[in-house]
A and B are shown apart, each in its own frame.
Chain A
C-alpha cells in the first residue's frame, strides 16, 4: 500500500523567503506525484505533477518540485514567498499501473507567511 508523509504540519516563513515543504512517499514502484493547494472552505487546486521525464517540475504561482527516486521524495519549493501563498498544501501519489487511480494524500502542511 502507498503512503505519503509530509514533515511539519505547520511551516512559517517570512514574506520574500524561501518556501520548502517536504514530502516523502512509500511505494513499491515509483508512483505519479502531485502537489495540491487548498484555500479555506475551497476544493483543491493542482500546483504541479510528476509522471515521467524531467525530474524537476515547474508549476503554477512560481512553485516547483523535484522527484528524487533514491530519497523517495518530492519536496515543493518557491524562491520567494508571497502573502497570497498562505494556504494548506497536500502532497499526493497515485499508482502507475492498475485500473484505479485514486489519489493517496498526506496529512497536509499549513503554510504561514509572516509579513
Chain B
C-alpha cells in the first residue's frame, strides 16, 4: 500500500539553528499539505500545494518558515531560525486532487532546545 514518506522522523536542534523536513507524497497525488501539531492539540494547516503552486499559506509564519514543491512532487519545509515554540510534530499529507481524502505521513517530531 502506497504511503506518504517523511524524514527525518525525529529532529533535535538548538534555538536559532536552521532545520528542514522532507515529504514524499503518494505517487500521483497532486495536492500536498503541511500541518503542525503541538502536543495535546489537533493539527493546524501551515501550507497547501496544488502541484508546484501554493494554494494557501495564510497560516505559515513567513518570517521564519518557508515551503517549496519545486517539481510538484516532493516537498521541503524549512524553519530558520528555529524557536523554542516550534517544538511540535510536523505532518505531511497528500491527496489525489482537492476535496479527496488526505493521507498522512508518520510525521517529524521536532524538539528545539
A54 at the interface (CB under 8 A from B): no
Q: With an 8 A cutoff between CB atoms, is B42 at the interface?
A: yes
Q: A32-B99, A45-B104, A105-B43 are in contact. Are A100 and B48 (CB under 8 A)?
A: yes
Chain A residues lying within 8 Å of B105, measured Cβ to Cβ, are 43
Is B48 touching A107 in the complex (CB atoms < 8 A)? no
* B33 contact set on A, CB distance < 8 A: 102-103
CA distance A92 to B41 in the complex (A): 12
Residues of chain A from 57 to 115 with CB closer than 8 A to chain B in the complex:
90, 92, 94, 99-108
CA distance A90 to B43 in the complex (A): 9
The answer on a CB contact under 8 Å between A100 and B42 is: no
How many residues from A make CB contacts under 8 Å with B? 24
Per-residue CB proximity of A36-63 to B under 8 Å, as 1/0? Answer: 1000011111100101000000000000
Chain A residues within an 8 Å CB radius of B56: 99-100, 102
CB of B18 closer than 8 Å to a CB of A? no
Residues of chain B whose beta carbon lies under 8 Å from any beta carbon of chain A: 4, 31, 33, 35, 40-45, 48, 50, 55-56, 91, 93, 98-99, 101-107, 109
Extra 5 A-B pairs, beta carbons < 8 Å, given A43-B107, A45-B104, A49-B101 = A44-B91, A90-B42, A100-B56, A103-B35, A103-B102
Chain A residues close to B by CB (< 8 Å): 4, 32, 36, 41-46, 49, 51, 90, 92, 94, 99-108
